[in-house]
Amino acid sequence: MTISSVFRKELSESEIGKTINYCYQCGTCTGICPAARFTRTFNPRKIVENALLGFKEKILDDPVLWNCTTCHSCLEVCPQSVLVSEIMFELRNLSVERGHLPEVFRAEGEGFYNNALNIPSSPAIARRRKQLGLDENITRPNVEDFKKICELTGFVEYIKKKEEPASQEVANE
Ligand code: SF4
Ligand code: SF4
């Protein structure tokens, strides 16, 4: 298994990531976590421990990272004020940089890019809006402008990024 001291250093240098250093492995985050109750393979305490140990590949290449529901319960109960759920975001971002965006999110991202709306309008949505006394027609943003923003911010690059070959890893970097 690759141990990356650079990974741990980078993570603990960010404003959010540095809170990981206060973790004393009590497991309170795992105890409150709804995703951990759903599947024993997802364990926020263990993810934090692996991050502290520098197990970069083990964390970033494991799709279980995406089981977090981002409910923020762990963040609220942590006695050490570790920003666990926010750290999950950072780890997911790093995972996406390695090309591990799950297909369901990739498809959602592509739909967003192509329509400038996360949920394109439908007759059912128009009917519901009418029932609620809202304008049935949702104003469409300018899709071309939106696409340009996606391209300039690098969003498109991420949704199209493919997995990095494992051979590119450098042991004990
Ligand atoms: S609750 Fe906080 S201190 Fe306890 S294991 Fe989780 S992150 Fe670490
Ligand atoms: S934010 Fe994620 S890790 Fe934290 S309690 Fe919720 S599901 Fe679990």
Q: Where residue 56 sits, what CATH number does that domain have?
A: 1.10.1060.10
Q: Is the pTM of this model over 0.85?
A: no
Q: How far apart are CA 10 and CA 173, in angstroms?
A: 12
Ligand 1 nearest-atom number relative to CA 48: 7
Q: Are residues 14 and 83 in the same domain?
A: yes
Quick check: is 173 in a domain?
Answer: no
Instruction: Tell how far the Cα of 32 is from the centroid of ligand 1, in angstroms.
Output: 11
**Does 113 share its domain with 96?**
no
Answer yes or no: do 57 and 122 share one domain.
no
Question: Do 111 and 151 fall into the same domain?
Answer: yes
CA 84 – ligand 1 centroid, Å? 8
**21-30 confidence digits (pLDDT tens):** 999 999 999 9
Distance CA 91, CA 76 (A): 19
Report yes or no on 62 lying in a domain: yes
Cα–ligand 1 centroid distance for 27 (angstroms) = 5
Model confidence pLDDT, tens digit, residues 40-99: 899 999 999 999 999 999 999 999 999 999 999 999 999 999 999 999 999 999 999 888
The Cα angle at residue 147 between residues 145 and 149, in degrees rounded to 5: 75
